[in-house]
Amino acid sequence: MEKHILYLSYDGMTDPLGQSQVLPYIIGLTKAGYNFHLVSFEKPERFIENRKTIEAICREHNIDWHPLKYTKRPPLFSTVWDVIKMKKIAKNLHREHGFSLVHCRSYISALIGLNFKRNYKVPFLFDMRGFWADERVDGGLWNLKNPIYNLVYQYFKRKEIQFFKNSEHVISLTSNGKNEILSWNGLEGLGEKISVIPCCVDTEKFNPETIDKANQDHLRGQLNIGSKQYVLGYVGSIGTWYMLDEMLLFFKRNCINKRNPIFLFVTKEEPSSIFSKAKKIGLDEKLIRVASAMHHEVPLYMSLFTASIFFILPAYSKKASSPTKQGELMSMGVPLICNDGVGDTADLVLKYNSGCVVPSEEINQFMIEEEFVFDSNKTKEGAKEYFGLDFGLNTFIGVYNKIIAR
């Protein structure tokens, strides 16, 4: 009997997140014998740019992809409209295929999963991805002083409990997040129902041994970075959660006396936003490089890093967050400099001797007085053990089999 799975994602497959955190798992699960029908919401500019690439991947692996247009405005009402679109296509696909399971990535998708459980008796997997409603508040997107946002927040906090209680299984990105859920009133007994799968990394792609030296030298030339210069590297978006001011100040305090130091940002953000912040703190912009890279190019850029840094706002919602960049950097054997209070990040850095953990309360004063403990081989092994795609995939296969066997 064929096992048809409906995978619902409010993230787009043409976004880097979809390509690194969704498609690798679906491809692996397809090889395990599951038939996937994927519904995702695509941002128009990314869809135009990457549509053919994703279509080719889906064709190759027999993934039935149904991309929908992501609606951005007006706030709240646009999301309601997207939920209506998601529900309609999900119902139509269920009539055609008869799903054994609905895999719901995050809270918006879980609204449909809950509906399917109640109306069609189809089990759903709540792949929560973090405390979504609290992230909106902590990130300043929902001001609870606004009665409308307060109402929406309370609605999703009620739904959150329903997702935990009515789903067949829950995936948390972190042990810290799981422990927080189990501390909530009425959810203490759900321990067996929650599995931890962090943001995965393809350790074959993020492998320093596969880096071509000629390509590396060419990139150094493009960026005007010498082979013996000290390079502090940052990868990813900037703003909301990522503490740009604090990272720039850290570089100024701790790296300025290194050998010809460079702070290299690999990001799609506007370079002027970084240079203007650097200027405000008296940091010479000649010490900064800003480059944009496609996801498959990121390992090459990381290979230039002497060390890496990411400071993330240690808000309540971040207990459940797993930075994708951590696994990628560890897989590349790059030393990490990060702050505590974010998911399992600090525990993993200490466990695998992967770098330096900065206490969040000391982030604006912290000085590295001596070389921190770093074990490159242990760090790379830690990436395979904890962030490796195989670990997550095997956990998902076990969860899928258990749910469908019921």
- Concatenating the DSSP letter of every residue in 142-182 gives S-TTSHHHHHHHHHHHHHHHHHHHHSSEEEES-HHHHHHHH
Residue 101 pLDDT greater than 90, yes or no: yes
CB 377 within 8 A of CB 389: no
Residue 373 pLDDT greater than 90, yes or no: no
Q: What is the pLDDT of residues 148-171, one digit of tens each?
A: 999 999 999 999 999 999 999 999
Q: What is the pLDDT of residues 237-292, one digit of tens each?
A: 898 899 999 999 999 999 998 989 999 999 989 999 999 999 999 999 999 999 99
Residue 328 pLDDT greater than 80, yes or no: yes
CB 204 within 8 A of CB 180: no
**pLDDT mean over 343-371:** 93
Place of tokens 């995050």: 106
Least trusted range by pLDDT, from 33-37, 80-84, 187-191: 187-191
Length in residues, the chain: 406
Nearest to 112 by CA among 125, 131, 100: 125
- Confidence band (pLDDT; 50, 70, 90) for 363? very high
What is the per-residue pLDDT for 119?
97
- Enumerate the β-bridge partners of residue 328: none
- Confidence band (pLDDT; 50, 70, 90) for 210? very high
253 is written with which tokens?
């305090």
105 is written with which tokens?
């990535």
Q: What is the pLDDT of residues 176-196, one digit of tens each?
A: 999 999 999 999 999 999 999
What is the per-residue pLDDT for 368?
86
**Could you tell me the pTM of the whole model?**
0.93
Asked whether this chain's domains 3-198+389-405 and 208-387 adopt the same fold, the reply is yes
What is the per-residue pLDDT for 372?
79
20 is written with which tokens?
């690194």
What is the per-residue pLDDT for 84?
98
Q: What is the pLDDT of residues 110-144, one digit of tens each?
A: 999 999 999 999 999 999 999 999 999 999 999 99
Over its C-alpha atoms, the chain yields an Rg (Å, rounded) of 22
Question: In the chain, what are the domain boundaries?
Answer: 3-198+389-405, 208-387
Task: Using CB atoms within 10 Å of the CB of residue 388, give its burial: 0 to 12 exposed, 13 to 18 middle, 19+ buried.
Answer: buried
Specify the fold of 208-387. Answer: Rossmann fold (3.40.50)
Specify the fold of 3-198+389-405. Answer: Rossmann fold (3.40.50)
CB 112 within 8 A of CB 85: no
